[in-house]
């Protein structure tokens, strides 16, 4: 489905939505669905500008009505939209693409669905970016001006409830009933409210604050839990008082009520607010888009039309970099386990050709050995001395000499050229036998020029490669000339060593230097001369073939001995006469006026293990240059992989890494996983605790929501704390608190709900544990409907559960059916018992209904009522009075039925009309109402003693008998007043 | 040297309680076997890296609680799986009968195109056998699944069945993976193996795509 169609409908003439994609806007922990449309506008004088339009939307946008413009981001010069990898997580096939949108003003993060469509979208956006061509004018975005005011308007809140998860939080998630809005409101409702209103950009800031609040609470973790718990113990008694003073609370709620709760423990339920947006590794994401557009995403994947390389790019984005590095370093460490040394024959040659073209066959130099070498490393210097070669870096000589070499390689084998590199006149060629080419890898070539102006034809080139498992570096250098420049040559060598750097395959690794190789072969015109002997003496020694004597005067020898250059390198014995300087075309020493002394300029050195030099010689037969070429043949022991052993080693490494990884999956042990709460009673807290003991990996734990549920557990249950962080080997105690209140009691009576639940304890990046909760609830008259109680002639606990269930489910109006044979009571006996008790004992009680009762006494009253043992009832008048108020409050249908609520408020002040409304109530409700009014009037007769008056009673009973059908919303003052007034009339007038 | 790629898959083990799902997992990942049965109450997972067809595949294998009372919750994990093992116990006719129910749950909750494989575990307990090999084959055929009789105890067909399901998942995602391979050979081209006379081939590719 192409959602750009819907966007197009909202656009003006000249604007065109090129492509649209649906994604999630990520802000902190919040995820909101947005439709992103790339819109193009053609300018009148040619050219075009682009902007990214962000829309909120309902369902999958089909028409323009489904989308609502949220904001516009002009694609300006500072606009970037880039893929980012979400905190180093593993790449998961088909996972979302996270992109970061940045401009000078803002920075947004989106998750786009995996697939070709997203890829296309990103390509289009990239194409739309204006670039930095100074010729094209900066985009002005005048066409966007018409949206500026619209955007402001759209900041007005509009109902966008479909993706405001926090807004779906009902106020019912609380223990202890809805009597204390302040208690939960502090932690839950207010956040929920701010979250809901924040869908549009105007509210973003509010939203953030709301979430941050929760974040702080969450971050508290165990610490918070512990203090919470401690607080709780102290509060236990106090809480009893609090529940008991419920009715009083409605009187004092504005003053004392609040201070009473200043030390609120953070009720776990209140924290639920951001739960749906917390953690992404849950089994069930409640993110709206994921549910909605799953099929859409799959379609995109299937209809994929992007090019292969694009796709490969998508797949390669997330690599296991660290893991690869670990595997590699382990493999290097264990190299000896799976490699063996095998000798390969290397030919190394160096030839300073003095700017000449090849005139003679190079066979005498390259093909003098019987056996075909496995590798040829052939170096030249002074390939081309022309200015053109120097300035244009191009010379026909390269091809000429390359061909000359290629033609004269050993005929016993076929060779593949691996690499050629040239820096002005310094060229290096690398060939291997064809069958070895497959084992050559990581080939890199670099060059370094040395010296200053005028001498820039000096320097070195190098080729590095891996042959089987051995790394090899071949360097060809032409160092500074002239006898007196010995220091300069040393410096050139050092410069080449320090400046020659090869890129690595893994861009994350530092570049390689020459010294970081197993084998180094260094050849070239090193230009070291013979010192302290005059020319004639040198020539004489040469004639006598006293090379040993002569060698003592060789600069390279003395410099190496002084550790000034080529440290760690070896050179074979010089058994050939100096290779410089001859008259071109002859074997005669230089006869020019300079009359240079002969010198061993051209040399071959090596460094590394398992290297045997087989020959080291010059080749007098070649007369093209004023130098003679030099060659050396080596047997080099190369580390060759035994594939079977390699595989085995690799598998071992991978296995041990897997093992390590599995050991690093967070894991905990729980002291208990089954919890049974027996004989749960109305408003009586039961606590079961267990401990989580962490293993060796620090982890975050959290109870997570089950699918399609608003909360991680049933309403009557609470885990404290419900989330936290655990250090290795640490322990935390979790308390499961079960508390049935008026909002959960009725369904437990009717068996629509049971004391049964499964909690999912989730470890971040780890396992999930299931905890089962079971138990039984003892039905109570509290939470039972009036008419149900009227049909119960026996105490509720004496009745079979099935009967309680049937009676509780009986509809409110069944009593009209005359055929009922059960002969119900006129009012619930439990109500009569309480009223009768008060009538007998408390009509003169001072401050009746105004002082709180005791929790323990309430439990006693409840048990007496539910078992019918009223004779044993002994409690303070205040406790019984409070029980009466709690009873009225717990009625699922208030005494004045919800349906009559608004009528009552309307005719409050008109007594006749009010009586009329009362007469329309179901019989049992009418009876209860009249009964209570009669009782209250009785109390008023004793007002001298009990200090009660109509106003006090009206304010207490007004909000209990008349309840707003909309639920627990804080009543408006006017409404409250009217309700009081309504009751007031009945207190003042006799029936 | 060609770049190294990893692909992550999620495989899921489902089946009645006690058929040996956890044992299959332990045998495959740690090569361990414990004969005592401790019910998995929750959802557990382990990682394993294998190489299939030159591609390095990391599989995350999820082991789920088999007990019926947890099924409404465990079903929610199906959605994230690319491959599912349906496991029964050859010594339990009942667990075999229940495969039907498990399949229908998979159809309902798992993503479209999820790969399934049928496993008859505890093949070593021949004397207690209640479900014939043919019955397993027959059922697998009916649902168009591959079938293995395995034994975590004797390590029979464990690697084979895990490898097979991984292959099936790879095949199902072939399109994406072809991209991977092409990319890998592009990288090879950069190795600058210019031919002189004969073009080197064959072993070059295989040696470059191994892990090092």
pLDDT tens readout for residues A720-749: 999 999 999 999 999 999 999 988 999 999
Q: In whole angstroms, what separates CA A450 from the centre of its chain?
A: 50
CA distances for A298 relative to A92, A114, A115, A308, B110, angstroms: 15, 9, 8, 18, 13
Please give the residue range of the domain that contains residue B17: 6-172
CA dihedral A910, A914, A917, A922 (to 10 degrees): 180
Residue of chain A whose Cα is closest to the Cα of B43:
A768
Task: Quick: pLDDT tens for B74-90.
Answer: 998 898 899 999 999 99
| pLDDT at position A348 over 80 | yes
| Alpha-carbon dihedral sign for residues A196, A200, A204, A206 | negative
Cβ pairs A/B, distance under 8 A: 162
The answer to whether the Cβ–Cβ distance between A769 and B113 falls below 8 Å is: no
User: What integer pLDDT is reported at residue A502 of this predicted model?
Assistant: 93
All residues of chain A having their beta carbon less than 8 Å from the beta carbon of residue B193 are 416, 418, 437, 440
The answer to whether the Cβ–Cβ distance between B41 and A769 falls below 8 Å is: yes
Name which of A310, A441, A659 is nearest B208 (Cβ-Cβ).
Answer: A441
Task: In whole angstroms, give the CA distance from residue A389 to residue A396.
Answer: 9
The answer to whether the Cβ–Cβ distance between B80 and A283 falls below 8 Å is: yes
A235 touches chain B (CB under 8 A): no
- For the ranges A285-289, A467-471, A958-962, which has the lowest average pLDDT? A285-289
The answer to whether the Cβ–Cβ distance between B77 and A283 falls below 8 Å is: yes
Fold type of domain A668-777 = Immunoglobulin-like (2.60.40)
| Superfamily of chain region A335-643 | Endonuclease/exonuclease/phosphatase (3.60.10.10)
The answer to whether the Cβ–Cβ distance between B80 and A439 falls below 8 Å is: no
3-state secondary structure of A155: coil
Write down the CATH number for the domain with range A826-988.
1.10.555.10
Strand partners, A880: none
The answer to whether the Cβ–Cβ distance between A315 and B176 falls below 8 Å is: yes
Residue B69 located in a structural domain: yes
Of A219, A233, A298, A261, the residue nearest A29 (C-alpha): A219
The answer to whether the Cβ–Cβ distance between B76 and A706 falls below 8 Å is: yes
CA distances for A844 relative to A833, A877, B66, angstroms: 18, 10, 65
Phi and psi angles of residue A728, each rounded to the nearest 5 degrees, phi first: -55, 135
Residue to substitute from B12, B45, B196, interface A, most A β-carbons within 10 A: B196
Fold type of domain A4-162 = PH-domain like (2.30.29)
Task: In whole angstroms, give the CA distance from residue A548 to residue A539.
Answer: 14
Over range A5-27, report the average pLDDT: 86
A977 pLDDT tier (thresholds 50, 70, 90): confident
Share in percent of chain A as helix, strand, coil (round to 5): 40, 25, 35
Closest CA of chain B from A892, distance in Å: 31
Residue of chain A whose Cα is closest to the Cα of B40:
A769
Phi and psi angles of residue A264, each rounded to the nearest 5 degrees, phi first: -45, 135
A169 touches chain B (CB under 8 A): no
Which alpha helices (DSSP H) does A530-637 contain, by range?
535-543, 547-551, 555-561
Of A655, A567, A685, A698, the residue nearest A222 (C-alpha): A698
Residue A748 CB burial class (10 angstroms; 0-12, 13-18, ≥19)? buried
Of A707, A718, A700, the residue nearest A762 (C-alpha): A700
Phi-psi group of A610: left, alpha or beta (phi > 0 → left; psi -120 to 50 → alpha; rest → beta): left
Task: In whole angstroms, give the CA distance from residue B22 to residue B26.
Answer: 6
Instruction: Tally the domains of chain B.
Output: 1
Task: In whole angstroms, give the CA distance from residue A168 to residue A647.
Answer: 56
All residues of chain A having their beta carbon less than 8 Å from the beta carbon of residue B212 are 327-328, 331, 650
| pLDDT at position A828 over 90 | yes
Over range A799-816, report the average pLDDT: 82
Q: Is the peptide bond before A32 cis (omega within 30 degrees of 0)?
A: no
What lies within 8 Å, CB to CB, of A3 at 6+ separation is: A20, A21, A22, A35, A37, A57, A60, A61, A62
Residue B64 located in a structural domain: yes
CA dihedral A11, A15, A20, A23 (to 10 degrees): -60
A689 touches chain B (CB under 8 A): no
Task: In whole angstroms, give the CA distance from residue A918 to residue A903.
Answer: 10
| pLDDT at position A584 over 80 | yes
Task: In whole angstroms, give the CA distance from residue A888 to residue A717.
Answer: 24
The answer to whether the Cβ–Cβ distance between B182 and A417 falls below 8 Å is: no
Over range B34-59, report the average pLDDT: 87
Compute how many other C-beta atoms are within 10 angstroms of the C-beta atom of residue A853.
Answer: 28
A933 touches chain B (CB under 8 A): no
b/e code A900-928 from CB counts within 10 Å (16+ = b): bbebbbebbeeeeebeebbeebbebbbbb
* Domain residue extents for chain A: 4-162, 180-296, 335-643, 668-777, 826-988
Residue A401 CB burial class (10 angstroms; 0-12, 13-18, ≥19)? buried
All residues of chain A having their beta carbon less than 8 Å from the beta carbon of residue B190 are none
The answer to whether the Cβ–Cβ distance between A312 and B180 falls below 8 Å is: yes
B48 touches chain A (CB under 8 A): yes
CA distances for B49 relative to A167, A660, A724, B3, B61, angstroms: 43, 12, 31, 17, 11
Q: Is the peptide bond before A856 cis (omega within 30 degrees of 0)?
A: no
User: What integer pLDDT is reported at residue A204 of this predicted model?
Assistant: 32
B108 touches chain A (CB under 8 A): no
Task: Report whether B124 contacts B24 (CB < 8 A).
Answer: no
Task: In whole angstroms, give the CA distance from residue A369 to residue A33.
Answer: 75
Closest CA of chain B from A688, distance in Å: 19
The answer to whether the Cβ–Cβ distance between B207 and A438 falls below 8 Å is: yes
All residues of chain A having their beta carbon less than 8 Å from the beta carbon of residue B191 are 441-443
B100 touches chain A (CB under 8 A): no
Task: Quick: pLDDT tens for B95-138.
Answer: 999 999 999 999 999 998 899 999 999 999 999 999 999 999 99
Task: In whole angstroms, give the CA distance from residue A737 to residue A456.
Answer: 84
Most confident of the ranges A61-70, A339-348, A938-947: A339-348
3-state secondary structure of A871: helix
Beta-strand relationship, A611-618 and A602-608: unpaired
CA dihedral A837, A842, A848, A853 (to 10 degrees): -50
Residue of chain A whose Cα is closest to the Cα of B204:
A438
Mean pLDDT of chain A: 79
Task: Quick: pLDDT tens for A621-662.
Answer: 999 999 999 999 999 999 999 999 999 999 899 989 889 888
| pLDDT at position B189 over 50 | no
Q: What is the CATH number of the domain that holds B62?
A: 3.40.50.300
Q: Comparing A335-643 with A826-988, is the CATH topology the same? A: no
């Amino acid at each position: 489905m192409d959602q750009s169609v819907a966007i197009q409908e909202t656009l003006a003439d000249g604007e065109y939505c090129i492509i649209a994609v649906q994604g999630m806007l990520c802000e902190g922990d919040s995820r909101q669905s947005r439709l992103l449309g790339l819109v193009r506008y053609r300018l009148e004088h040619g050219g075009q500008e682009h902007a990214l339009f962000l829309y909120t939307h309902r369902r999958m946008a089909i028409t323009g009505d489904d989308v609502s413009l949220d904001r516009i981001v002009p694609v300006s010069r500072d606009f970037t939209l880039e893929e980012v990898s979400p905190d180093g997580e593993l790449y998961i096939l088909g996972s979302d693409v996270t992109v970061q949108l940045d401009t000078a003003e803002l920075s947004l993060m989106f998750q786009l669905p995996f697939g070709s469509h997203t890829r296309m979208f990103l390509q289009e956006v990239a194409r739309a970016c204006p670039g930095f061509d100074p010729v094209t004018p900066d985009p002005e975005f005048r066409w966007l001006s018409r949206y500026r005011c619209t955007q402001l308007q759209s900041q007005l809140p509009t109902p966008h409830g479909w993706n405001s998860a926090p807004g779906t939080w009902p106020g019912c998630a609380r223990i202890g009933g809805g009597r204390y809005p302040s208690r939960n409101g502090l932690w839950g409702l207010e956040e929920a409210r701010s979250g809901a209103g924040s869908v549009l950009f105007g509210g973003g800031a509010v939203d953030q604050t709301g979430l941050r609040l929760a974040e702080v609470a969450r971050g508290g973790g165990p610490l918070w839990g512990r203090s919470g718990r401690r607080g709780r113990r102290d509060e236990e008694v106090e809480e009893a008082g609090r529940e008991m003073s419920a009715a009083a609370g409605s009187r004092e709620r504005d003053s004392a009520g609040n201070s009473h709760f200043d030390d609120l423990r953070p009720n776990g339920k209140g924290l639920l607010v951001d739960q749906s947006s917390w953690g992404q590794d849950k089994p069930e994401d409640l993110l709206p888009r994921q549910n909605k557009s799953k099929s859409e995403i799959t379609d995109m994947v299937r209809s994929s039309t992007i090019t292969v390389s694009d796709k490969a790019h998508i797949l390669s984005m997330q690599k296991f970099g660290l893991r690869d590095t670990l595997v590699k370093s382990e493999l290097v460490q264990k190299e000896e386990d799976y490699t063996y040394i095998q000798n390969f024959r290397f030919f190394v040659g160096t030839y300073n050709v003095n700017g000449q073209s090849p005139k003679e066959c190079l066979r005498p130099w390259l093909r003098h050995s019987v056996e075909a070498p496995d590798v040829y490393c052939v170096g030249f210097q002074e390939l081309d001395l022309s200015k053109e070669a120097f300035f244009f870096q191009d010379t026909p000589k390269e091809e000429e000499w390359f061909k000359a070499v290629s033609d004269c390689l050993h005929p016993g084998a076929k060779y593949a050229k691996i690499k050629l590199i040239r820096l002005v006149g310094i060229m290096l060629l690398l060939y291997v036998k064809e069958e070895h080419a497959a084992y050559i890898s990581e080939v890199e070539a670099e060059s370094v020029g040395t010296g200053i102006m005028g001498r820039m034809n000096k320097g070195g080139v190098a080729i590095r490669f891996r042959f089987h498992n051995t790394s090899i570096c071949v360097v060809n250098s032409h160092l500074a000339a002239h006898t007196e420049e010995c220091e300069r040559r040393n410096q050139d060598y050092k410069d080449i060593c320090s400046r020659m750097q090869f890129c690595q395959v893994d861009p994350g690794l530092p570049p390689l230097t020459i010294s970081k190789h197993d084998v180094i072969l260094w050849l070239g015109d090193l230009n070291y001369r013979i010192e302290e002997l005059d020319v004639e003496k040198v020539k004489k020694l040469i004639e006598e073939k006293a090379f040993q004597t002569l060698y003592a005067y060789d600069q390279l020898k003395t410099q190496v001995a002084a550790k000034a250059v080529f440290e760690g390198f070896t050179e074979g014995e010089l058994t050939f006469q100096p290779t410089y300087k001859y008259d071109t075309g002859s074997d005669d020493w230089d006869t020019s006026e300079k009359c240079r002394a002969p010198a061993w300029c051209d040399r071959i050195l090596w460094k590394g293990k398992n290297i045997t030099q087989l020959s080291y010689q010059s080749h007098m037969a070649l007369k093209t240059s004023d130098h003679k070429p030099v060659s050396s043949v080596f047997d080099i022991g190369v580390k060759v992989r035994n594939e079977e052993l390699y595989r085995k080693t690799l598998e071992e490494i991978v296995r041990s890494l897997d093992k390590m990884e599995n050991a690093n999956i967070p894991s905990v042990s729980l002291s208990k996983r089954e919890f049974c709460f027996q004989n749960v009673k109305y408003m009586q807290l039961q606590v079961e605790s267990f401990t989580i003991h962490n293993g060796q990996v620090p982890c975050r734990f959290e109870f997570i929501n089950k699918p399609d549920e608003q909360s991680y557990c049933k309403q009557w249950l609470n885990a404290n704390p419900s989330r936290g962080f655990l250090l290795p080997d640490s322990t935390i105690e979790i308390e499961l608190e079960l508390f049935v209140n008026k909002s959960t009691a009725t369904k437990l009576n009717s068996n629509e709900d049971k004391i049964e639940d499964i909690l999912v304890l989730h470890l971040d990046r780890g396992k999930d544990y299931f905890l089962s909760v079971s138990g039984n609830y003892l039905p109570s008259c509290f939470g039972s409907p009036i008419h149900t109680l009227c049909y119960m002639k026996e105490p509720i606990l004496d009745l079979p559960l099935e009967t309680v269930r049937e009676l509780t489910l009986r509809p409110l109006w069944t009593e009209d059916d005359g055929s009922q044979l059960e002969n119900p009571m006129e009012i619930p006996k439990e109500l009569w018992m309480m009223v009768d008790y008060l009538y007998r004992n408390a009509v003169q009680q001072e401050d009746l209904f105004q002082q709180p009762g005791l929790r323990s006494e309430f439990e006693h009253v409840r048990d007496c009522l539910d078992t019918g043992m009223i004779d044993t009832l002994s409690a303070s008048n205040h406790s019984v009075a409070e029980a009466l108020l709690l009873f009225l409050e717990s009625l699922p249908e208030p005494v004045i039925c919800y349906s009559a609520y608004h009528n009552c408020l309307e005719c409050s002040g008109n007594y006749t009309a009010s009586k009329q409304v009362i007469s329309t109530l179901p019989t049992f409700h009418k009876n209860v109402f009249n009964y209570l009014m009669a009782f209250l009037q009785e109390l008023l007769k004793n007002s001298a003693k009990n200090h009660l008056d109509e106003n006090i009673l009206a304010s207490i009973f007004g909000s209990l008998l008349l309840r707003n059908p909309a639920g627990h919303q804080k009543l408006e003052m006017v409404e409250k007043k009217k309700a009081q007034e309504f009751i007031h009339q009945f207190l003042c007038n006799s029936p | 040297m060609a770049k190294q790629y990893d692909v992550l898959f999620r495989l899921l083990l489902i089946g009645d309680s006690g058929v040996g799902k956890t044992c299959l997992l332990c045998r495959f990942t740690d090569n361990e076997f414990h004969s005592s049965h401790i019910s998995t109450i929750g959802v557990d997972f382990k990682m394993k890296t294998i190489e299939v067809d030159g591609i390095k595949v990391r599989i995350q294998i999820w082991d789920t609680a088999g007990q019926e009372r947890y099924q409404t919750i465990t079903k929610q994990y199906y959605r994230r799986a690319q491959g599912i093992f349906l496991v029964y116990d050859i010594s339990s006719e009942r667990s075999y009968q229940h495969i039907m129910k498990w399949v229908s749950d998979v159809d309902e909750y798992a993503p479209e195109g999820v790969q399934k494989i049928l496993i008859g575990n505890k093949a070593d307990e021949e004397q207690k056998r209640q479900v014939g090999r043919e019955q397993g084959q027959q059922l697998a055929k009916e649902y168009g699944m591959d079938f293995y009789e395995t034994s975590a105890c004797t390590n029979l067909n464990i690697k084979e069945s895990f490898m097979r399901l991984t292959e099936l998942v790879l095949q199902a995602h072939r399109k994406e993976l072809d991209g991977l391979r092409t990319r890998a050979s592009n990288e090879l081209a950069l190795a600058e193996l210019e031919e002189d006379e004969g073009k080197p081939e064959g072993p070059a590719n295989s040696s470059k795509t191994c892990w090092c």
